[in-house]
Chains A and B, each alone.
Chain A
Amino acid sequence: MEKQLIVDGINETLSEEFELGIDKLTPDAHLFDDLGLDSLDAVDMLVHIEDKTGVKMDVEQFQKVKTLGDVYDLVAEVSSQSKLN
């Protein structure tokens, strides 16, 4: 999947599910501090992103993400790996 498609897909999911304005969804936005998500929301986010992108993320890797940019990168990385397999 192309990176821009991933970014758009994730942003769309986040704005729909968490009622976040698209303008807030920048790569350097911190999930907890800037977007006001908490750890329970993070689980929801994981589930919705997996559903939207069809990409299965490693839970341990996901636990390390801090900013929205980290999320884009992780999904892009897992997505390109699964294409290679």
Chain B
Amino acid sequence: MSLNNKVVIVTGGSSGLGLAISKRMAKDGYQVLINYNSNEEGAARCRDEITKAGGRASIIQFNVSDREQVEASLEKFFGENSDAQLYGLINNAGITKDTLVGLMSDDDFKDVIETNLYGSFYLMRWSVKKMLLKKEGFVINMASLSGQVGNGGQANYAASKAGVIAMTKSLANEVGRRGIRINCVAPGIIETKMTENIPFLEEMKKNIPLRRIGKPEEVASVVSFLASTEASYMTGQTLSVNGGLYFS
């Protein structure tokens, strides 16, 4: 299959998992649209690395929780690149604002839900409508171990990610008959900015059957599989990438 004009949007591609996923998607042959919110330098570096390696990538700024910004930026990009076909969406942008429920402000809760859950929804709604026209495509949502099992200190984040998992199953149900697949990846603890200040990391490693935390590339390879036709009979699923920390 020629993937030449097939565009995959990766939200939050300026660092961490999104960066590794963007590079992997480009290596797989897709044209990658790397989204960032504030870190333009990181997104530009990602794009440059991809183009240097012979791949195709562009960067695009929008805040995923701002529907108007999301839609206007995407309309503009696809309007200006009329040969580009939106083929895949990877909803990876996400934030944490960890604290105990008793100490959690309304804004701590709202910000995390708006970015992780509303953001994923806005992007999915816009993208799936494009995919319905072509009757092909995929969405991969970045969930989390917290969304599968809950986690003290992360009520907001866990709720957002559990929501993402349920939303994935629901949409998979709606668009499966049009050949569009919607799946989730649920990472455990992966080495990125998000996890650099986790307390008791050494202690936690002892509870991971594989005895180490994961690398972003180890999540990117599972995303690559779910995006590919190798996973053509999978939809509505959540694949855990957690070193065995939780057996789903």
A→B interface (CB under 8 Å): 40, 43-44, 47-48, 50-51
Contacts and interface: CB of A to CB of B under 8 A. Distances in A.
Interface in B168-199: 174, 177-178
B101 to A, nearest CB: 35
B133 A47 contact: yes
Interface in B97-156: 129, 132-133
Task: Give chain B's interface secondary structure class.
Answer: helix
B177 A47 contact: no
Nearest to B176: A40
Contacts of A44: 132, 178
Contacts of A50: 129
Interface of B: 129, 132-133, 174, 177-178
A51 B174 contact: no
Contacts of A48: 132-133
Nearest to A50: B129
A18 to B, nearest CB: 12
B110 to A, nearest CB: 24
Contacts of A51: 133
13 contacts: A40-B174, A40-B177, A43-B132, A43-B174, A44-B132, A44-B178, A47-B129, A47-B132, A47-B133, A48-B132, A48-B133, A50-B129, A51-B133
A47 B178 CA distance: 13
Nearest to A45: B132
B182 to A, nearest CB: 14
Given A47-B133, A48-B133, 9 more contacts: A40-B177, A43-B132, A43-B174, A44-B132, A44-B178, A47-B129, A47-B132, A50-B129, A51-B133
B51 to A, nearest CB: 31
A82 to B, nearest CB: 15
The residue among A40, A48, A51 with the most chain B CB atoms within 10 A of its own CB is A40
Nearest to B178: A44
A50 B129 CA distance: 10
Contacts of B174: 40, 43
B49 to A, nearest CB: 35
B40 to A, nearest CB: 30
Contacts of A47: 129, 132-133
Contacts of B133: 47-48, 51
Nearest to B125: A59
Nearest to A51: B133
A50 B132 CA distance: 12
A50 to B, nearest CB: 8
